[in-house]
Structure 1
Amino acid sequence: MTKVLSAPDARRQEKLQAFDRLLTIMDELRENCPWDKKQTLESLRHLTIEETYELSDSILEGDLPEIRKELGDLMLHMVFYARIASEKKAFDVADVLNGICDKLIERHPHIYGDVVANDEETVKANWEKIKLKSGNKSVLEGVPKSLPALVKAIRIQDKARGVGFDWEKKEQVWEKVEEEMQEFKKEFNAERNEPINKEKAMAEFGDLLFSLVNYARFIDIDPEEALERTNKKFIKRFQYLETESAKDGKKMGEMTLAEMDVYWNRAKTLK
């Protein structure tokens, strides 16, 4: 007798079939397409980074159809890397998937073991402790060196917090922000307009940014997302300035700052 699948089980079968279809297509492309045959782990790397940023853009835009498309592009890359590695007899996609499954089970003892963790902070702390037991020499070892500096600051602070190295109250963090602001102002000599020691000023500016990232974390703001939203807002307003001034027969680079400010202030009133 044939078992009739329930709706959730039927959907699981569709997912498995879709993944199997992707594996089949990947095999066919790797064996028959001139471009796909040439690709290496190294040649795909910069393309994967580009795809990741495209996914990030679609998430910030809240564009679910585009997120779906970008996830597909990234999924293709993951399968592509695994296919190349299998040709080198290093590992295949099954090894990759089983590896992450084993890792998730090991690092969630509150789900798959007898450890109790009733809040997010406890889960994070347990995660970092397990990583240290697994052979990591430093809590910060898992932070990629090539991460953009702002994102890296967020990850460093998150990981330090996971083992209890953190401020207790947001007021303490804000005091640190103000302290760093004063130190930067002193090095920059903003009021006296004197020559500055660029190296010292840069160091103080870095400390100020780091402390602001820390404060943002305490009030549950993602600094990377906040800055990107501001970038997008500036781009929108500046492009309005360009477009509307051109309609009036004016050219960028030939207007005074006061003239440009008229369009800029108009742009600020738009949603």
Structure 2
Amino acid sequence: MEKLQSLIKTAHQLRAPGGCPWDAEQTHGSLVQYLLEETHELIEAIESGNRDEILEELGDVLYQVLFHADLASQGSLGEPFDLEDVAQKMENKMISRHPHVFGTAEDKEKYLAETGEDVVKNWESHKKLEKPGRTSILDGVPQAMPALALASKVMGKAEKAGILETSEIPTIPMETEEQLGKLLLAIVASARSVGLDPERALREANRELQAEIRASELQGDFDAGVVAFPTS
């Protein structure tokens, strides 16, 4: 980890007195736009499959993490914490959520996971134990996600909880992501032709769907599939 330690020192030196004025002026809030940009660039590199681009973009995302950790080490968020604290918290979380790997013999038997689906089910249970203050399956879902990704996330959680009536979801014939992509483009083109904003429209539909899901949770009817997929 010699190179990582060297990079941490470089990031700190850039923000220290006598370093880079721009770096010294940044805050957690001002860095958000760059975190988003670097993340999208990494996604693009991964989808292209280009090794050198992925290597570079992983570095850019890593540097964002180092930058935020260095800011926090100076007390920007109250009680200081640094990259070591971030790593420790993440390691604790990974060990806690993988008792089938790191647990006792009893834990490994209780949380036996032979498939990825088994792991996901256990993961959700562990998250509930870690976040006892959450009252909804939607708590913790970042609303700033792009509308399409948010819709998929919300529906996935509702389906797992048995709240969304999957049998009622209208089926549009398609077999590949290429077909899906063309369909989505056609929807966007149709919306634009009549002056509608597809992103805003889907965000509003997301809000309505989430409101229905939360209402069904309050009724305590978690497994009855009480929320029907909106068809109009």
What is the correspondence of 1:60-209 to structure 2 with a 5 Å cutoff? Answer: 60-88=47-75, 89-113=79-103, 114=107, 115-134=111-130, 135=132, 136-163=134-161, 165=163, 172=167, 176-177=170-171
| CA distance in 1: counterparts of 2:20 and 2:163, whole angstroms | 52
Question: Counting helix residues as a fraction of each chain, which structure ranks higher?
Answer: 1
Identity %: 36
The structural deviation recorded for 1:137 is 2.3
The structural deviation recorded for 1:166 is 6.1
- Equivalent position SS for 1:40: coil
| CA distance in 1: counterparts of 2:123 and 2:42, whole angstroms | 26
What residue number does 2:6 align with?
A: 21
**Letter of the 1:44 counterpart:** L
| CA distance in 2: counterparts of 1:17 and 1:167, whole angstroms | 52
- Structure 2 unmatched runs, 5+: 173-200, 210-232
**Letter of the 1:82 counterpart:** A
Show structure 1 runs of 4+ deviating over 6 A: none
Deviations 1:189-241 (A, max 9, x none): xxxxxxxxxxxxx68x959xx9xxxxxxxxxxxxxxxxxxxxxxxxxxxxxxx
Residues 33 and 154 of structure 1, relative CA distance in 2, 3 Å threshold: same
What residue number does 1:241 align with?
A: none
Choose 1 or 2 for highest CA Rg: 1
- Structure 1 unmatched runs, 5+: 1-15, 179-201, 211-271
Residues 162 and 125 of structure 1, relative CA distance in 2, 3 Å threshold: farther
The structural deviation recorded for 1:63 is 1.5
| CA distance in 1: counterparts of 2:165 and 2:40, whole angstroms | 32
Deviations 1:105-150 (A, max 9, x none): 1111111122211111111111111111222322221210100011
The structure, 1 or 2, with the larger RCO (C-alpha pairs under 8 Å, 6+ apart) is 2
CA RMSD of aligned residues (A): 2.7
| CA distance in 1: counterparts of 2:46 and 2:99, whole angstroms | 31
- Any conservation in 2 of the 1:128–1:159 contact (CA below 8 Å)? no
The structural deviation recorded for 1:20 is 0.4
- Any conservation in 2 of the 1:125–1:163 contact (CA below 8 Å)? no
How many residues matched? 167
